[in-house]
Structure 1
Amino acid sequence: MAPRPSTGVDNEVTVGTRDFSPAHFLFPAHFLFKIESFSLLSENGIDKYESSEFESGDYKWKLIIYPNGRNTEDGGNHVSAYLVVADINSLPNGWEFNAFFSIFLFNHEFDNFMFMKGQRRFHLINPEWGFSNFVAKEDLMDPTNGFIVDDKCVFGAEVFVIKSKGIGECLSLFKVTDSYTREFKISNYSVMENQWFSVEFITGEHKWKLCVDTKGYGDQEGDCVSIFLDAVGMERQSSYQKLKADFTICMKNQFDGADRKHRDINGWFSPSWPSLGWSNFISITDMNDPKKGFVVGDSCVIEVEISIKAVVRSLP
């Protein structure tokens, strides 16, 4: 499918002159194209010329000059000038981006540049944009205008690719009918270091582990046992941004199971908040009380139950 040409006569196009060349520091990429014996282009059957490639914004470009115009209805009264994204077969599927661009014609008489500039969205259907009426042939060939000297003229192009990364997300909700329950036994509780980590386990295609601070965490240090549920690898996760889960953590009474210590959370795990739980899950006094049944034979038993409610993924 041929790209749809720009007419160069809409509200997004600016026409003017300036003194500095396309190499001016404001622009990240520029290209100059000198034509000698311009009058011989048509005589030699060259109705379209594509320049060599130049780069801007990680993309390759070409400047295209139509000496007799691209718009056949114009009768060849104008020179057309276009920019095209080169080597589009190497670009990923669905590529598109916006760019500011200018196309120039050097004026030898006044030592400045006549230009047209605009902003366009380049993509697979329209990889080429420019100006069909860039300069009138009569004005270009008139020696008093200074565009052609000794049958030589200089065109130029500048491109500024607008860098933007699209961001999107998809919220997936689940009708939870099942939950995942896992039981862990911590042995040698009295001589354990401050922190204990469970082995990793999987539920809802996500990895988890329990963390127990026997001496307490943060402002509860020395007063309470702290227990947290960690979403493993959440801080490095790229396929999803966050997930919502209901979970219950229970410290079992190993005597009769009647007096259990349990707490519930309905919360969001995210890369900035990959761990949820309680710094004051149970007091150290109750935990170590032999009558409570939480520590028996220097071991305790913790149960965790998890239900995944929602997942937020990044859109590709």
Structure 2
Amino acid sequence: IHDPSFKWKVYGFSALLERGATPANSTRFHCCGYKWYKVTPAHKRSGDGIPYVALQLFLSRVSFKPGHTMNALFELSVYNHSNGTYYGGKANVFSPEKKPLVISKKHITVQNLFLQKKEFIRGTYTWTMSNYLDLKLLVNSPAFEVGGHKWYVNMYPLGDKYSTKSLSLFLHLHDPKELPDPKSGMMIELTLSILDVKHGKHFTRRFVFAAGDKAGWGWSNFIRLKTFKDPSRGYLLGSNCVLKADITITGSSND
């Protein structure tokens, strides 16, 4: 009998495909004393061009201490509504040191996701910075509004504690109290960019996530500092750079 720890029910999945092959992240869920989240990116196999859906399970790094290792056995599957069965397979994450894992009776977390095909809520914010070279610590943009919520972009000019010689860039809700319950959070498509003011070849990262379990989303390793500071690239001219945030609210997660 298949007894999942986490169920992610997606309504209007085709709307996600129409937005392009962008990973969609669930909110984090608890299992075995750790926090996890699921990712459903759309891929194309090399050579045949046939699209397919891949399922990935990630361990939230905030719940796992650096230097520790884990051996986990997990199964990812997709429910077949026609015959009432699950399609999937088991997988392993191996570590050098294997230890037995005692699992108590588990709580099943269910998150429903309702995706819209039209009437998206969109917003764009451009942050022009003229003093990058003077910055050493975290800096926040002015607040801006999209979808009835106030947001801000924050940047670690030399990278946060998880960064490896990269600039870190994140989107945050201005007021954490506005953060919705994980079961009723927004589905957001986020695009963060650093503009190339010389050639127009902007550096961009994009992903889709279910808001609800934390107030900030982004990348610790957004762009390598060596690349960002390369004068031939056009990202940093003197001490000037331009950052852009595009937010699209594509749906909501509700019971």
The TM-score normalised by the length of structure 1 is: 0.41
1:295 aligns with 2:236: yes
Aligned with residue 190 of structure 1, among 118, 133, 152? 133
Determine the structure 2 residue equivalent to 1:234: 176
Superposed displacement of residue 203, structure 1? 0.9
1:304 aligns with 2:245: yes
Determine the structure 2 residue equivalent to 1:116: none
Aligned with residue 146 of structure 2, among 203, 211, 220? 203
1:266 aligns with 2:205: no
Structure 1: segments with no counterpart, 5+ residues = 1-168
Equivalent positions of 1:59-74 (< 5 A) are: none
**1:230-279: CA deviations, max 9, x gaps?**
1222355468842110011110111121x211000100121x32211111
Equivalent positions of 1:153-172 (< 5 A) are: none
Aligned with residue 224 of structure 2, among 283, 286, 290? 283
Please identify the structure whose Cα radius of gyration is greater: 1
Q: Is the 8 A contact 2:180 2:186 kept in 1?
A: no
For residues 313 and 177 of structure 1, what CA distance do their matches in structure 2 show?
A: 17
Aligned-pair Cα RMSD in Å: 2.6
Q: Is the 8 A contact 1:195 1:211 kept in 2?
A: yes
Q: Is the 8 A contact 1:239 1:313 kept in 2?
A: no
Pick closer, same or farther for the CA change 1:224–1:181 going to 2, 3 Å.
same
| Letter matched to residue 224 of structure 1 | S
Q: Is the 8 A contact 1:231 1:269 kept in 2?
A: no
| Letter matched to residue 244 of structure 1 | M
| Letter matched to residue 266 of structure 1 | V
Determine the structure 2 residue equivalent to 1:102: none
The TM-score normalised by the length of structure 2 is: 0.50
For residues 191 and 135 of structure 2, what CA distance do their matches in structure 1 show?
A: 24
1:254 aligns with 2:194: no
For residues 172 and 178 of structure 1, what CA distance do their matches in structure 2 show?
A: 14
1:219 aligns with 2:162: yes
Q: Is the 8 A contact 1:248 1:304 kept in 2?
A: yes
Superposed displacement of residue 178, structure 1? 5.7
- Equivalent residue pairs, number: 144
